[in-house]
Amino acid sequence: MAASLLPASGVDLVYLDPPFGTGRRREGQAGAYADQWKGSGQHVSWLAECCERLWPALRAGGTLWLHLDARSVHHLRLALDRVLVDGTCRNEVVWCYNGGGVPRRDFPRKHDLLLRYVKKGDWTFHAIRRPYKANTQAVGRHSTRAKETAIDLDWGTPQTDWWADIPTVTGWSPERLGYPTQKPQALLSRLIAATSNPNDVVVDLFMGSGTTLLAAASLGRRYLGVDNSKAACDLAARRLAPWQAAAWDWAP
| Per-residue pLDDT tens over the stretch 49-108 | 999 999 999 999 999 999 999 999 999 999 999 999 999 999 999 999 988 788 999 999
Smallest CA-to-CA distance from 203 within 84, 69, 66 is with 66
pTM: 0.90
Instruction: Please state which of the ranges 57-61, 103-107, 124-128, 137-141 shows the lowest mean pLDDT.
Output: 137-141
Q: Is residue 134 part of a domain?
A: no
Q: Is residue 195 part of a domain?
A: yes
User: For residue 75, what is the DSSP state?
Assistant: H
Q: Is residue 140 part of a domain?
A: no
Q: Is residue 145 part of a domain?
A: no
CATH number for 10: 3.40.50.150
Digit-coded pLDDT (tens) for 199-238: 999 999 999 999 999 999 999 999 999 999 999 999 999 9
Q: In this model, does residue 250 exceed pLDDT 70?
A: no
User: For residue 244, what is the DSSP state?
Assistant: T
**Per-residue pLDDT at 134:** 75
Smallest CA-to-CA distance from 68 within 99, 100, 46, 101 is with 46
Name the 3-class secondary structure at 110: coil
pLDDT cut 90: percent of the chain above it: 73
Terminal CA-CA length for the chain: 7
Q: Is residue 215 part of a domain?
A: yes
Structural domains in the chain (count): 1
Please give the Cα distance from 36 to 13 (Å, whole number): 28
Please give the Cα distance from 34 to 142 (Å, whole number): 49
Domain limits for position 26: 2-124+161-249
pLDDT cut 70: percent of the chain above it: 88
List the beta strands (DSSP E) in 120-242.
129-130, 157-158, 162-163, 201-204, 222-227
Q: What is the overall mean pLDDT for the chain?
A: 89
Q: Is residue 131 part of a domain?
A: no
**Using alpha carbons only, how large is the chain's radius of gyration in Å?**
19
**Helix 211-218, helix 230-240: angle, nearest 10:** 20
Average pLDDT rounded to a whole number, residues 6-16: 93
Q: Give how far the C-alpha of residue 140 lies from the chain's centroid of Cα atoms, to the nearest Å.
A: 34
**Per-residue pLDDT at 246:** 46
**Per-residue pLDDT at 133:** 76
